[in-house]
Structure formats: structure tokens, C-alpha cells
Amino acid sequence: MNLTAIDLFAGCGGLTQGLKQAGVDVASAVEINRSAARAYQMNHPETVLIEQDICNVSVNEILNVTPDKKINLVVGCPPCQGFSSVRTRNKGNIIDDDRNKLILEFLRIVEGIRPEFIMMENVPGIVNYINFDKTVNRLIEIGYKLDYKIVNVEDYGVPQRRKRLVLLGSLSKQVTIPESSPSLRTTVKDYIYDLPSVDISEDPMHRNTTKHSEKVKNIIALIPKDGGSRKDLPPEHWLECHKKSGVGFSDIYGRLSWNKVSSTITGGCLNPSKGRFLHPTEDRVITAREAALLQTFPIDYVFPSDISKTELAQMIGNSFPPKFSEFQANYLKNVLVEEKK
């Protein structure tokens, strides 16, 4: 028996891509955002996409779009902006955001389908949220054997420092979050070093990079190559906003390092004022293609060409790194094989 999955809150398809790389059949997916749905369909045309608000999608509607398939895996990354590390920086308070309740929609779908396996990913802060406790307790009540853990995706082959909460569950066997291995470690160099110059690239995603003002160009040129930061600049070149005491986000205007993992690829990944997103040696911010590669999307993964740079960056930054979901899916496949022996 193979794994056949439904991807809830599918975004532009990062989780689905990883599942497919592991040989999982992704039968259907749900995504409300139009641009993300377009990207999903461009890369996964064989998957039936339900482009609606999941709150308005019934379990029967999901099952009826692929009536010939037995769903034995439900996966999802419920939007979680209200308790992300950036949003809760102010005394750790959870921001009141309706999207925080979408984890209960994940629970509703799982309750209705009762798949053999479930996989959910979210930001670490969700463990302090009452609806996470409700979800975990209810899943246990209906028979799921669970394990959840905060991990760093850099330990699973992703060239990026990114902490995430992962939850796995099975109806028949105790599952555990698979252990990482030092041998899996990769770096920025492994993923973007061999790309052609932006000026000669025929890839529109690689030509998609921020155009800097002369002032910003001069600042970037002064930042030491291969890992330098704005703190290395002489004070006379500091931006006014950086001269104030108590200013955080020290990675702003920082360069990536070839032989390390990147900082977390966020929705600001195409803007040097949003984090450590400068190219290791070239005097520019990383391109959209480089950002996608650092998220471990395949180099031929396509995105809509008629959306804003801001929307594209948000789409890439919000994605689930395919390499990480591939690792988790391979673990569940091995559990399934063991169950059938």
C-alpha cells in the first residue's frame, strides 16, 4: 500500500513537493490564496486543488473530488501568524488573529477522514496556544498515537536555520519524530554557488531581485564578503534607524556565508532591510530563485510572473521546505512498510 495524501493550507506547494519527492501520491489540496493556488497548479497539475476557504469546505467535498482514492495521510501547515516569533516579540504575547483558529479546521478534517497518518507543521510558539492543546487532546481521544517536537530544519538537509514544530500521528503504531544526522547538513554554497550571473541568466526568477538606490549600493559594497553584517560598517555609514539604542534585528543588511546555512527565509527575503539576505559575495540581495533554492524548491519550480515582488517573497518565505517534508514522508512510508509485514 502506498501513501495517498491530502494537503491542507497548501500554499504554493512546498509540502506537496516534498511528499511527491518521497513517492507520495498527493490526491488533493486546499488553498484559499489565489496567487499561491496558481503557483500550486503550475507545478502540481495532477493534484485536484480546491481553491476555497477551508472553513467552508466539508469533509465530503474533499473526499468526493478523488472518489477512487483511499486517503491515508492528511498533512497541513495551518497559518500561524499570531504566534510567530516576530509577532510575539512584545513580551511573548500571542497576537489575536483569526488565523490562529485554523488549527481546529485541520482537526475537523482529520476527525472526518480518520487517515492512518497525520503530519502537521507550525511555528514553535503554537505549543503555548490553547487550541494546540485542544487539538492534541482530541487527536489522542480519537485514537492517534502522537509525537511532536520543535526541530531545526538545518538538521535535516535544508540549508537554512529555521525552527519548526512538527507533529506526526498514527492510528495503529507509535510514531516518533525521526532523528536528524550530521551527515545531512548542507550549506548555502551547496544550493546557490553555481548559479549564473543575474545579468546573463535566462531564468526570470533569478533575474527577479531588488534594485537598490545608490546610497544602499554603497552601504552593501562596504559590508565584508561571506558573512559580514551592518555592525561591521563604520558608524558614519549606519542608517539613521540603526543609530538608535535598543534596535534589534542585528542581521539586517547582513551577508549570507557560503559554508554555513542561511538565516530563516522569511517573507522579507528579497529586502536587505528585513534580515540577513545579502548575497555572500555579490553586492545585492538574493534573488527570488536563490531564496526558493534555499527553501529547497527544485530549480525548475515556477511561480506566477505577474505578481508583485512583495507577494512573491511572502509566498516563498511562508513555504514549507520540500526537503524537510520529504524526510518526514519517507519516515512514514517506512512505518507503513513495517505495519504491512
261-275 pLDDT, tens digit per residue, is 999 999 999 998 888
Pull the grid cell for residue 135: 487539538
- Measure the CA–CA gap between 98 and 96, rounded to whole angstroms: 7
288 & 330 share domain: no
pTM of the model: 0.91
- Which residues make beta-bridge pairs with 150? 165
Answer yes or no: is pLDDT of 84 > 60. Answer: no
What letter does residue 340 receive in the DSSP assignment? H
| 147 vs 274, more confident | 147
Burial (0-12, 13-18, 19+ Cβ within 10 Å), 169: buried
313 & 329 share domain: no
Q: How many CB atoms lie within 10 A of CB 103?
A: 23
Q: Cα–Cα–Cα angle for 54, 59, 65, nearest 5°?
A: 90
- Measure the CA–CA gap between 159 and 66, rounded to whole angstroms: 35
Answer yes or no: is pLDDT of 142 > 90. Answer: yes
- Over residues 277-306, the mean pLDDT reads 97
Task: Quote the pLDDT of residue 73.
Answer: 98
> Which residues constitute the domain of residue 335?
4-180+321-340
Per-residue pLDDT tens digits for 325-335: 999 999 999 99
Answer yes or no: is pLDDT of 186 > 80. Answer: yes
260 & 333 share domain: no
Answer yes or no: is pLDDT of 103 > 90. Answer: yes
148 & 287 share domain: no
E-state strands within the chain: 4-8, 25-30, 48-50, 73-76, 117-122, 145-152, 163-170
Q: Cα–Cα–Cα angle for 168, 171, 173, nearest 5°?
A: 80
The answer to whether 165 touches 106, Cβ cutoff 8 Å, is no
In 3D space, the residue among 106, 118, 133 whose CA is nearest the CA of residue 166 turns out to be 118
From edge to edge, which strands make up the β-sheet containing 25-30?
48-50, 25-30, 4-8, 73-76, 117-122, 163-170, 145-152
Write down the mean pLDDT value for the chain.
90
Q: How many CB atoms lie within 10 A of CB 34?
A: 11
Task: Quote the pLDDT of residue 267.
Answer: 94
Task: Quote the pLDDT of residue 241.
Answer: 58
Answer yes or no: is pLDDT of 247 > 70. Answer: no
134 & 254 share domain: no
What is the band of 87 on the pLDDT scale with cuts at 50, 70, 90? very low
Task: Quote the pLDDT of residue 96.
Answer: 52
225 & 205 share domain: yes
- Over residues 134-143, the mean pLDDT reads 97
257 & 329 share domain: no
Active-site residue, 77 included: no
Grouping H, G, I as helix, E, B as strand and the rest as coil, residue 190 is helix
- Measure the CA–CA gap between 35 and 307, rounded to whole angstroms: 8
Task: Quote the pLDDT of residue 236.
Answer: 63
Task: Quote the pLDDT of residue 237.
Answer: 63
Catalytic pick among 12, 55, 77, 80: 80
175 & 195 share domain: no
155 & 214 share domain: no
213-222 b/e (C-beta count within 10 Å ≥ 16 → b)? eeebeebbee
Beta pairing, strands 48-50 & 73-76: unpaired
Task: Quote the pLDDT of residue 90.
Answer: 42
Answer yes or no: is pLDDT of 107 > 60. Answer: yes
Per-residue pLDDT tens digits for 27-38: 999 999 999 999
* CATH number for the domain harbouring residue 44: 3.40.50.150
284 & 194 share domain: yes
* CATH number for the domain harbouring residue 221: 3.90.120
DSSP string, 301-320: ----SSS-HHHHHHHHHTSP
| 193 vs 216, more confident | 193
Task: Quote the pLDDT of residue 245.
Answer: 55
- Measure the CA–CA gap between 269 and 231, rounded to whole angstroms: 19
Residues comprising the chain, all counted: 341
Answer yes or no: is pLDDT of 296 > 60. Answer: yes
Whole-number percent of the chain with pLDDT over 70: 88
162 & 55 share domain: yes
299 & 272 share domain: yes
Q: How many domains does the chain have?
A: 2
Beta pairing, strands 4-8 & 73-76: parallel
